[in-house]
Chain A
Amino acid sequence: MRSIRLRLFVLLLSATVLVWSAAAGWIYVSTRNDVQRVLDNRLVEAAGMVASLARGSAEALKKSSVTRPLPVPAHYGRQLSCQIWTLDGRLVGRSGSAPDAPLSAGQSGFSERTIEGEQWRVYTLVEPEVGLRVLVGDNLKVRRNLIGDVMTGLLLPALVGIGALAALLWSAVGRGLSPLRRVANELSRRDPAETSSLAVEKPSQELQPLVASINGLFERLEHLRANERHFIASAAHELQTPLAGLKAHAQVARSTDDSAVRDKSLRSIEASVDRTSRLVEQLLDLAREEAAATNAPKWTAIERVVHAIEDELRHFLRRRGVRLTLDENALTAEVLADEAGLTLALRNLIRNAAEHAPENTEVRVAIESGGSMRAISIIDEGPGVLPEDLPRIRDRFVRGSRPKSPGSGLGLSIVELVAARFDAVLHLGNQPDGGFKTSLLMSSKAVRKRP
């Protein structure tokens, strides 16, 4: 059932009908017992009365063979029937409503019997001294009608009452659900883009958790949206500067007469296109990574991942004059991670390291252990990061404040995002003897030696 109103209505109405039916059943049973007791007593009394009357005129009765009805008051006639038999089985007297057939087999006490399709309840009184048997009976139909009348008198108003009650229940349930309807109306009226809190005045106690969680959801949504807006704005701004450089250099190249100036501008245009492409590429990486479903982690050899990255960056590494090396433990290590994510994270870290490393130096990939943690570390011999830059260098679009910091300021954001997918934490730090180290910290359970 889709409607709460209908559901509540049906439940309430069924409960009412059930309780009333049980009550009616109870009343029926107790009324029937009461009627039986009272009417049985009446049969006993009536039999006693007839017997005492018959005792006086017993001899005359025995001689009589007439089955003339005894004179019985009219209003009794319909309800009570009476027969008087001799002990040898002759009917010597009966009331007008009694049949000719014997009402009972003859034993003293109560009995029931069907005569000509009608059920009788009979009390038999045997008087051996006078040789007569007195039978007094009720037609059971009459008894049933009596009980039926009582029940009809009880149930008819109840049936009318249930109709009225149904109408009242329907409107009361409707009124009771009106706070819910107000919340629903408020929700359906809203613009899809709106994320402000629900304007529900004093929500009912039962609705408070609902309204609170809806508002919580809206808040998180608003926060996410603000982040997204900020990110898009930042990304656009980040693109403006290289675009401005491109345009200005193109104008310089076009208007200068000096071939050296023109050459420099054209070279700058090339460099600027490279940088802009890298930014766009990283924005795409980030967008893909944020949209991607997490792949199930599997054991991935570090060596294979690093070699794939080396292949991809071969040209860049050669131009920078930087060699990529794997420590012995890194050569044999496997990591429990999503391979695509691990590759993306390590590629950014290795590229960063190579970008800052001086010419003819190495960028090392090593596995380090400490307690229950393992680290995949990328170590370069570059100048490192200024201590005051360390806390904010992970933020998007933040580059180190050392002059000539290349890159888009997105790399570490991407690494953090990806690393979180395989439960790794990014750690950054200057090396005591110069150089910079970036590490992906993982549980020792997620790092093993290749079997």
Chain B
Amino acid sequence: MRILVVEDDEILRDAVEAGLALAGFTVDAVETVADARAATADWSYDAVVLDLALPDGSGLDLLQAWRGAGSLTPVLLLTARNATPDRIAGLDGGADDYLGKPFDLDELAARVRAIARRGHGRASPLLRLGDMTLDPANRELLKDGLSITLSRREFTVLQALMEQPGRLLSRAQLEERLYGWQEEVESNAVEVHIHNLRTKLGREVIETVRGEGYRVPRQ
């Protein structure tokens, strides 16, 4: 899942970026309202982690602008202002969740997974497809009740496909899920991951639509 983190404090931003990457997210991090606007204009995110007090404006105003423009991207507010009225203002302003500083990284990751899941229209934390069950929180894949070991990137590709069975994802869209801005995109990486997944799970698990992309068949 690709996440945008908007936080002005450099040290905290680095920590959130590193922590969410460890939890299996692909993370882009920006510092200002202006950068956040630019990032969301160019990319689509599964969720946004938004700090309220930003140097060039309020995160709440930014959120309201997004909601006003019809954006449905789930947003988790991250803020030092943690009193009940602040939470209410945040949630009424269009946020999906609220987390006060300081926070636990695992909790942040869990909450981001939860809002992203709901953003995709699912309530269950587990993704199921045929005899496969994918657990994003524990980064675990079960097939016929047996655990199958996947690399981080393989897992990310499979998760992206299983989130919306039947929907076609292009190679570019999958790369977008795999790599943050700072990371260098390896050519053919997507093809390599798809190949490995088919080897581990069976050919029929992922369909190739020639020249278009990949999908997992709807059951």
Name the one of B9, B22, B102 contacting A247, with C-beta atoms under 8 angstroms: B102
Contacts known (A256-B22, A401-B55); A246 close to B106, Cβ less than 8 A? no
Taking Cβ atoms with an 8 Å cutoff, the residues of B that contact A are 9-12, 14-16, 18-19, 22, 31-32, 53, 55-56, 80-82, 100-106
- 5 closest Cβ contacts across the A-B interface? A248-B15, A240-B80, A244-B102, A244-B101, A245-B12
Q: Within 8 Å CB of A236, what residues of B?
A: 80
Decide: A264 and B55 in contact? CB cutoff 8 A. Answer: no
Q: Is A405 an interface residue (CB 8 A)?
A: yes
In whole angstroms, what is the CA distance A272 to B101 when docked?
Answer: 15
Residue of A nearest to B51 (CB): A241
Interface size counted on chain A using CB atoms at 8 A: 31
Q: Is the CB of B12 within 8 A of A241?
A: yes
A84-99 CB contacts (< 8 Å) to partner B: none
A272 / chain B contacts, CB cutoff of 8 Å: 11
- Per DSSP, chain A at the interface is helix
- Given known A-B contacts A240-B80, A241-B80, A255 and B22 have beta carbons under 8 A apart: yes
Instruction: Give which listed residue, A237, A255, A275, A401, contacts B81 with CB less than 8 A.
Output: A237
B55 contact from A248, A256, A405, Cβ within 8 A: A405
The distance from the CB of A252 to the nearest CB of chain B, in whole angstroms, is 5
Question: Could you give 12 example pairs across A and B, Cβ below 8 Å?
Answer: A237-B80, A240-B80, A246-B102, A248-B19, A248-B103, A255-B105, A265-B18, A268-B15, A272-B11, A275-B11, A401-B32, A403-B32
Q: Report Cα–Cα, A148/B143, bound state, in Å.
A: 132
The CA-CA distance from A274 to B11 in the complex, in Å, is 12
Give A368 to B22 CA distance when docked, in angstroms.
Answer: 56
Contact (Cβ within 8 A) B12 A251 = no
A271 located at the interface, meaning its Cβ lies under 8 Å from any Cβ of chain B in the complex? yes
Residue numbers in B under 8 Å from A8 (CB-CB) = none
With a cutoff of 8 Å between Cβ atoms, the chain B residues found around residue A374 in the complex are none
B82: A residues at CB distance < 8 A = 240
Residues of B with C-beta under 8 A to A265 = 14-15, 18
Given contacts A240-B102, A245-B11, A251-B106, contact A401 B22 (CB under 8 A): no
Chain A residue, CB-CB nearest to B54: A401
